[in-house]
Copies of this chain bind each other. A is one copy, B any other.
Amino acid sequence: MRIDQLQTPALLVDKAALEHNLQTMAAALPGARLRPHVKAHKTTGLARLQYAAGHHGFTCATIREVEGMAAAGLGDDLLLANEVLDASRLGAVVASGARVTLAVDSDVTVDAAVAGGVREVVIDVNVGLPRCGCEPDDAGRLADYARGKGLDVRGVMGYEGHVMPVLDAADKLRQTEECMAKLLKASADVGGDLVSAGGTGNYAVNTWAGEIQAGSYLLMDTAYGEQGMPFQQALTVLGRVISSNAGGWRVVDVGLKSLGMDHGNPSIAGAAVWFCSDEHTTFSEDGTTFAVGDLVRVLPAHVDPTVAMHERLHIVDGDEVVDTYEVDLRGW
């Protein structure tokens, strides 16, 4: 099938860029050094490629992602790197034979893990990003509390998300080291083998964590692209020009219901984007001519939420669709 047969808007993933990203990361962080984050693509078909590239443990952000990965036979070692208050669905996944490890950062979330039938946890440590995670000084106490409740504490995790957008390499290295010093101190108090941290934004410099939770590298975001990383932007949203106005603007049928908008407007090669509506992007020509019926590849400003808006994605080689995967880990 060719892309002109697709209902627009449609998610396209460039096959060559995908394979390049997969191989580049597998070379940099082979096997268990990478625990790919599936929230970036929410697609077991892509997770299967990561598994085949040697990464058998995965990071998840939602219960649904854990369930879907286990159901797809990718449940060797699933880390839910997020706190939950009702872990009963996770307990059911454990009972089905998959390995599930849950992040906890408080007595309440430890109690929820126990009540839900989860057996293994990591202590989620706050290393500087104002989000989840206990204080580093409290990690040892919380691990003791969890073990006292019968849980197996595998180690620690801590996400230095605020370091990801740092552009200056020396500054990024310094900030990563500071965050990981906190995590390693907590690790010493907690025990266990796991020290899980990092992301695409600092995968190359975080040598302190035992495993890196990178996800975006596979499809790549425009923002990360500006950091000179060796990964290629693989994801676009295919649309069609549905209207053309003598006033100087064109309209493509890709709008804010098919684009993650939290990083702002999308971009289109050869065009200047004016604004997005629910199902439209209005733009003017800027070096390229666009006529009604033309196919247009729209670059979303943020990949993760864009993928989550679509039911499927198409792997393309040029204008040829070579594979189609359901985005089967959506929802909660």
> Which A residues are within 8 Å of any B CB, using their own CB?
7-9, 39, 61-63, 82-86, 105-106, 108-109, 126, 130-133, 135, 161, 240, 242-247, 249, 251, 253, 256-258, 260-262, 274, 276-280, 282, 292-293, 304-305, 308-311, 331-332
Closest to A279 in B: B61
Contact B62 A308 (CB under 8 A): no
Q: A39-B279, A135-B246 are in contact. Are A305 and B257 (CB under 8 A)?
A: yes
A328 to chain B, nearest CB (A): 13
Complexed CA–CA distance, A242 and B282 (Å): 39
Contact A131 B243 (CB under 8 A): yes
Contact of A278 among B63, B105, B304 (CB under 8 A): B304
Contact of A242 among B109, B243, B253, B261 (CB under 8 A): B109
Q: A304-B278, A305-B278 are in contact. Are A84 and B242 (CB under 8 A)?
A: yes
Copies in the complex: 2
Closest to A161 in B: B277
Complexed CA–CA distance, A276 and B305 (Å): 12
Complexed CA–CA distance, A82 and B257 (Å): 15
Complexed CA–CA distance, A261 and B259 (Å): 10
In the assembled complex, 26 residue pairs joining A and B whose CB atoms fall closer than 8 Å, in A order, are A7-B63, A9-B332, A39-B278, A61-B278, A82-B242, A82-B253, A82-B279, A83-B251, A84-B242, A84-B253, A105-B243, A106-B243, A106-B292, A108-B293, A130-B249, A131-B251, A131-B282, A132-B242, A132-B251, A133-B245, A256-B262, A257-B305, A257-B308, A261-B262, A262-B276, A278-B305
Known contacts A7-B332, A85-B240, A257-B304; 20 further A-B pairs (Cβ under 8 A): A39-B279, A62-B279, A83-B243, A84-B242, A106-B292, A109-B243, A109-B292, A126-B247, A130-B245, A130-B247, A130-B249, A130-B282, A131-B277, A132-B242, A133-B243, A256-B305, A257-B305, A261-B305, A262-B276, A278-B304
Contact A83 B130 (CB under 8 A): no
A243 surroundings in chain B (CB, below 8 A): 83, 105-106, 109, 131-133
Contact B247 A292 (CB under 8 A): no
A161 surroundings in chain B (CB, below 8 A): 277
Contact A293 B256 (CB under 8 A): no
Interface centre among A84, A109, A131 (most CB of B within 10 A): A131
Interface centre among A130, A240, A244, A274 (most CB of B within 10 A): A130
Contact A130 B242 (CB under 8 A): no
Complexed CA–CA distance, A256 and B300 (Å): 14
Closest to A247 in B: B130
A105 surroundings in chain B (CB, below 8 A): 243
Closest to A277 in B: B131
Closest to A86 in B: B7
Interface centre among A82, A242, A247, A276 (most CB of B within 10 A): A242
Contact B242 A8 (CB under 8 A): no
Q: A261-B262, A332-B9 are in contact. Are A126 and B245 (CB under 8 A)?
A: yes
Complexed CA–CA distance, A161 and B274 (Å): 15
A130 surroundings in chain B (CB, below 8 A): 245, 247, 249, 274, 282
A257 surroundings in chain B (CB, below 8 A): 304-305, 308
